[in-house]
Every structure is written in structure tokens, then in C-alpha cells.
Amino acid sequence: MKVAVLGGAGGIGQPLSLLCKNNPLIKELAVYDIAHAKGVAADLSHINTPAQVTGYLGADELPGALTGANVVVIPAGVPRKPGMTRDDLFKINAGIIKGLATAIATHCPKALVAVITNPVNSTVPIVAETLKSCGAYDSKRLFGVTNLDAVRARTFVAELKGLDVSTVTVPVIGGHAGKTILPLLSQTVPATTFTAEEVEALTTRIQNAGTEVVEAKAGAGSATLSMAAAGHEFVDKLLRGLAGEDNVTAPAYVESTVTSSRFFASLIKFGPEGVQENLGTGTLSEFEQNKLDTEVLPSLGPSIEKGLEFAS
């Protein structure tokens, strides 16, 4: 299968492309960016794995990167720097993502599209409306990558409770920014008991984990390596669904009827057409239901509207 990484020479794009080069399901890897894409592709091409890597530089070469792609993953855009809000990011990244979505509609309208570019709560609606205006929108084929929130939740719970992290799952729903991120700790597998204080502290840490990394890097970047790992895990699951493997699931931010929000992240089962089934939220605890009603949904709405307005 062919995977195109748009923004493949960036802070997330390079480690994401490296992980994709090592994925046995990927036969062709297209690395696209507005700078340094050829060098990154040359470097990757020396790795002794079967995937064939090609670099594509600038808008004139974007059609070549997209043509024939089964999955397009988009980490393109600028990262968050200290003091930047996701609204600051929006002003820069919204235009980038709209241009890429227009090209996808023309050159690979049937590809599964995985959006990493922040703010995801707004960029996914931009892609949806742009594809729709080009007559190429299929809600089953567009995903906001929220998997990093679930990766962090698994890690933090395993550390706190002394569990084997490879056995832990924690559903995370809502969106992919601050208070829109809602880990469902009551549904942790294996079944785990938390005090009210632990639930509050873990929820806050998972919501603010991106800022934790931005501050720790002290101006040198944002969560690039963990995002690349979570992004590749997500791409791998999309590919496995495309290949017909059964019961492949991950959280994703999709067009949804699970709540009143038009776009919402929940557990998704993947198949040959993308979304095979939206598995919803399950039964929420009182704490989680309150957070959903008073924080997640009220915060998501304006972010979605902002994206829709920009796209129109």
C-alpha cells in the first residue's frame, strides 16, 4: 500500500516517516514537504526495509506524492511554541491544511486522510468542508488523529498503578485540546480503581500533557516524537483495516452522531472503507458525564465552528 506523509520533513514528519519506512504493510512511502523532502527521502531510502521512498518538494510535486495513495497522513504546519495558544496556531495552519485538502480531492479522493496538524478540533472540519466543496467528501475516510491522548493515558495510568503498559487501555473521547480531552478512566482495562483525587490529577495531566512537553523543551519544539509514535500506530491500524483485518480499533476524531457535536473523538473500528463502526463512549462515570456536559461539548463547538467558517 502507498502512504503519503504531507509535512514529512518536519519535526513530527521525519520520525513518523522513519516508523512508516519500517512498516511491512507499506510498499511505497511518499515524503512531501516545502523544504528538505528530497534529503529526508534519500536518507530513509538507505534503510534495509522493503518500502520504496520518494521525496516530493513543493506544490508542483504534490500531485505525484498523492497519486495512488491509500492513506494520506498530514503533520504539516508549524508546531506550538511556548506561550502560543491553539488559536495562534490556527491562523497559520488553517491555510496550509485547506490547500492540502484541495489537492487530496483532486489526486486521491478515495484515500483515508489522517489529520495531525493542530488544532485538530478545527483543522478536521476545514478538511471536511474543503473536500465537500470539491465533491470528494466521505465521512468514513477522514480522521483527526487523537491517538496521542490515548497513548499518554495508557502510559500515565501504568506508571501510577505499576501495571505493564502493554496490557493497559484507556478510552479517550471528545477532542484534541485541553479541556476537550476526556480520558474515561472508569473504563480502564485491566479494571483499575482510582481515588477521586487520582482521577482529577490524571485527567488534568492527560489534558495538559502537550504543554508539559512544550515547556520541557523550552522553545525547542513540541511533542514530536510521541506524536510520531502515536501517529504511526494510528496509520498502521488504518492499513490493517484496509487489508481486511478484523477488530482493529483506535480513538479518532470523526464526523459523529455520538453526541450533539458534529465532530467528536471516540473509539472507532476500522475496515476496508475506513470507519466500519463508531463504538461510541460506553457508560460514563458521574465525573466523566459532568466533564462531557460542562467542559468538553461547550469547548468543542466554537472550535468546530471556527474551522467550518474558515473553510467557507
Q: Which residues are catalytic?
A: 176
Would you say 5 and 16 are in contact if contact means Cβ atoms under 8 Å apart? yes
Residue with cell 483499575: 192
Alpha-carbon distance of 52 to 248, in angstroms, equals 26
* Nearest of 241, 66, 231 to residue 140 by alpha carbon: 241
Q: What is the largest CA-CA distance in the chain?
A: 56
